[in-house]
Amino acid sequence: MIRVALPLQLRELARLEGDLEVDVPPPASVRAVLDEIERRYPSLLGTIRDEATGQRRAFLRFFVCNEDWSMESPDAPLPAAVASGVEPLLIVGAVSGG
């Protein structure tokens, strides 16, 4: 079980309360986690990554165990602490706006 922290706007869009928990087969990766999130919550399609290209949206970043994973390959295996649910995968929106 992997814990995923989504920005408030996406939790509201998906009608989620609190963190999201997903199960993906090992080796867990960002791509596998996002595939599962979008399968369960189709309203989130296109909001984290482009539907056509799969590219992460520019104003979002991925953090794992205090490290910025935004530029990692989406197929890179997530650390064991994340794959086991000890640490969350953080999906963070840029702190900006008006």
Partner 1 sequence: MSGVRVLVGTRKGAFICTADGDRAKWDISGPHFAGWEAYHVKGSPADPDRIYASQSSAWFGQVMQRSDDGGKTWNAVGNQFAYDGDPGTHQWYDGTPHPWEFKRVWHLEPTADNPDEVYAGVEDAALFRTTDGGQSWHELPGLRTCQGPQWMPGAGGMCLHTILLDPVNPQRIFIAISAAGAFRTDDGGATWKAINRGLHSQHIPDPTAEVGHCVHRIARHPSRPDVLFMQKHWDVMRSDDAGDNWYKVSGNLPTDFGFPIEVHAHEPDTVYVIPLKSDAERYPLAGKLRVYRSRTGGNDWEALTDGLPQENCYVNILRDAMAVDQLDSCGVYFGTTGGQVYVSPDGGDHWSTIARDFPAVCSVEVQTLP
Q: Which helix (H) or strand (E) holds 64?
A: strand 60-64
Does residue 90 bind partner 1 (CB under 8 A)? no
Distance CA 8, CA 14 (A): 10
3-class state of residue 96 by DSSP? coil
Q: Which residues, 20 to 79, sit near partner 1 by CB under 8 A?
A: 42-43, 45-48, 50-52, 57, 59-60
User: Residue 17 corresponds to which tokens in the numbers above?
Assistant: 């309360």
In the bound state with partner 1, the residue whose beta carbon lies nearer, of 50 and 75, is 50
Interacting residue ranges for partner 1, rule: CB under 8 A: 7-10, 12-13, 42-43, 45-48, 50-52, 57, 59-60, 93-94, 97
